[in-house]
Structure 1
Amino acid sequence: MRHSTSEGRFSSASAQGRSDGRGTSGVSAAEGWWVMVLALVLFVGHAVLFQALAFEWGGILRFALLFLMIFGLAWLGLQRRGAEGVHPRGHRRAALLAGAWAFLVATVAGWFWIAQGEHDVGWPLTTAVSALAFAPLAVVGWRLARAGAR
């Protein structure tokens, strides 16, 4: 196990939380809620993106979605960063695994449902796959919100 010797802005709060047995203090519930909103936005965006080619105006829909996602994700990132607090033990690993899972699912689904052109897969399946891709990120946010509410 590796130990950090840095004296970063949250190191003392984390060390104090571990030493007194109460857990990490300074966890932000608001940051957890912003992560859950991020997961929701990514879920909806990918669900629409996976089905956009089935619509007559699918190209325009994809353009508008991607344009809105660029600004929306930047804004959400700033909101989350402003609410950032101490992260509980294992948060970084969980967030990285959730991101890797989302990337893998979106890459595979994107290959079959975007790169190959039109497809006959219905919206219930593509929406379920999108939900499956971003559910772990929502759980990461929920764990932060729950830890911050204590």
Structure 2
Amino acid sequence: MYFFLSNLSFTDICLSTTTLPKMLVNLQAKNQSITYAGCLTQVCFVMIFSTLENFFLGVMAYDRYVAICHPLRYMVIMDAHFCGLLILVSLLVSIVDDALLHSLMLLSLSFCTDLEMLYLFCEVFQVIKVACSETLTNDINLIFYS
């Protein structure tokens, strides 16, 4: 349980440091803009860490289920190799399936104005909202993967 809690805490720290430094710089400079490349990078990392956090919560729920329903076999089922494998699979799924897919879908969008967005925090929905090209596939993917 503490192994998963430490991974969850590290992921939460990473999620916070993805958005807060740029937000604090923008608030200090009274400039609420972010470049397109910075926005895509921020979107990618936010998607990775938020999805990873959700997977870790699911893994922790499975860990508690095994501890409660199979207390005598807990150490056999949840050995160190299996716990590491759960963390690795969660990381790979959050990178490949969610963050990479949405980031590549955002790269295919075209925009009418310059590529500077007036937001403190860049989010997938905000990028799709300012796009001029067809966003139906992006919307379907967001609904499906959310």
What TM-score do you get using the length of structure 1 for normalisation?
0.31
Relative contact order higher in (CA < 8 Å, ≥ 6 apart): 1
What TM-score do you get using the length of structure 2 for normalisation?
0.32
